[in-house]
Structure 1
């Protein structure tokens, strides 16, 4: 899709995984002292593979992804190691991380409406993201943008490229965010609850689209969700987190068939199952009419 360009961290270290995270700890300062919101998380993602990170709200899933991207808010700091193609990211300057973000690692957020600027057309926003990393003319960037929108199945892309975010449905806006993320052909895509706000039918379409695009590009993916049913459809490996701590890590088959941690088993037990026996709701006792006016 894109012309030949110079990329940040262009030469991978031989034998290195796409992403290797070791003892990742995320700490925030508070008036009561430092608080660790993620503690010693370790995992790896290979090219073409998907890691699902699951857990309840507040488990540290999103903070893990923001630490990888170098986007921690409010004075948060990262310790441990985050290596992309064998190259360390922790400790890099903001300027260096801005070159990595979007180019080598891209992110799709939960709420596309808050991620897209309502005052600019979707095409202009994708074009600007592309030109920030690739340069080139507006004409070339527009051609890449239309191709990216067609790739995520936005009908009549050459016309809709000039539409504003509010002129698209929630599912279409999420497709636009995926197009923006993938127009730079990143090595790693981080999808943070990308289907939470969508109805079941649109959710299935977005999951199918992500899987298809991943097969085409060979990118690795981190899929963050609280929904175990969703992660079972997309993940090769699964990391379960609770309260900032990694609880269990394994292949999807291991996690769903032979979970070791009590917390993982509790999460799985909470999933509705089609083969569960039907239990009737207790009925309220019938009124006799006594005492009625």
Structure 2
């Protein structure tokens, strides 16, 4: 997988989160989260279920439920996103900031072709004719390596495999050429082989577009393949932060160490039982 370019000194971050706190009537779900993501860089946001990582992404996208109270700052290219109007956030979502969800089958509408859905996402922000938008949809599908993209724009979600549906979701996220991509557990529902293909695709697409990426997952093995920097969350708090190399080679926090210890490694030694030999050694 291609290495991402390092952030140059003095580069302004695409996304800057400072002291983000998210509270519901029953309690605080994110408490003081802070991180930056530069152009062409990936931040891996890691934690088990309930750690607050998905709530962080929803706050960035302006999709938190109305009962949620937020404080702190979320700046995109220097502009504050928290407490923006719904109309303002709708103009930003899907255009400058795009999200790739975990389950493409529930995210895609089964009654419309994938080409129509990608084209409508494009027209919602960029305008243009239906024919021009459909050409953009085919180009986006071709970019994410869907074979015969021009022919498959007329296919429905159920006509694609799970891995190909996720490629459709990535095409939809990319069609407006966003500066920030939020990928929320995009490989969890896929088998290991397809998962590796999607990770390679995301890395290659990012290298081409130089978009910043927030990659959310519970799987440290996945984070190690795609992230430049890592933020580890537990119970809504950040417990450790650093470059991917620092986190994986010399973790400081006991929780991070426990997560790493529970992550399967290719070089792990597995004790296999002795083979049972039948008469004659067969």
1:27, distance to aligned residue in structure 2 (A): 1.2
Cα 1:119–1:76 change in 2 (3 A) is same
1:169 is aligned, of 155, 161, 165, to 161
Equivalence map 1:65-214=2 (5 Å): 65-214=57-206
- Aligned equivalent of 1:27, options 5, 23, 28: 23
Counterpart of 1:48 in structure 2 is: 40
For residues 244 and 128 of structure 1, what CA distance do their matches in structure 2 show?
Answer: 36
Q: Which has the larger radius of gyration?
A: 1
User: What residue ranges of structure 1 are gaps of 5+ in the alignment?
Assistant: 1-13, 282-293
Partner of 2:6: none
Per-residue deviation at 1:204? 0.6
Q: Check conservation: 2:240, 2:253, Cα contact below 8 A.
A: yes
2:31 and 2:62 mapped to 1: Cα distance? 17
Question: What displacement does 1:75 show?
Answer: 1.8
Equivalent residue pairs, number: 265
Instruction: Please give the secondary structure, in 2, of the residue aligned with 1:248.
Output: strand
The offset of 1:15, in angstroms, is 5.2
Give the Cα separation in 2 of the matches to 1:160 and 1:277: 45
- 1:219 matched to 2:215? The reply is no
Unaligned segments of structure 2, at least 5 residues: 1-9, 274-282
Give, in whole Å, the separation in 2 of the partners of 1:123 and 1:170. 17
CA RMSD of aligned residues (A): 1.5
Residue of structure 2 in register with 1:286 after alignment: none
Equivalent residue in structure 1 for 2:13, among 14, 17, 20: 17
Q: CA deviation at 1:79?
A: 1.1
- C-alpha deviation, 1:74, in angstroms: 5.0
Deviation at 1:76, TM superposition (A): 1.6
> Conserved in 1, the CA contact under 8 Å of 2:184 and 2:215?
yes
**Structure 2 Cα separation of the partners of residues 142 and 210 of structure 1:** 23
In structure 2, the CA distance between the partners of 1:159 and 1:275, relative to structure 1 (3 Å rule), is: closer
Aligned to 1:289: none
Quote how far apart the aligned CAs of 1:229 are.
Answer: 0.5
Would the alpha carbon gap of residues 261 and 164 (structure 1) be closer, same or farther in structure 2, given more than 3 Å must change? same
Aligned residue for 2:94, secondary structure, equals coil
Bigger shift: 77-86 or 173-182? 77-86
* Aligned twin of 1:256: 248
Shift of 1:73: 2.3
Matched residues in 1 for 2:271 and 2:41: separation? Answer: 40
The aligned residue for residue 275 of structure 1 is 267
Task: Decide whether the 8 Å contact of 1:28 with 1:74 is kept in 2.
Answer: no
Q: Quick check: 2:13–2:77 contact (8 Å CA) kept in 1?
A: yes
TM-score by length of 2: 0.91
String of CA shifts for 1:62-103, please: whole Å, max 9, x gaps. 111001000012522321000001111111101101111011
Displacement of 1:140 after TM fit? 0.8
CA distance in structure 2 between the partners assigned to 1:125 and 1:272 by the alignment: 38
CA contact (8 A) 2:167 2:198 kept: yes
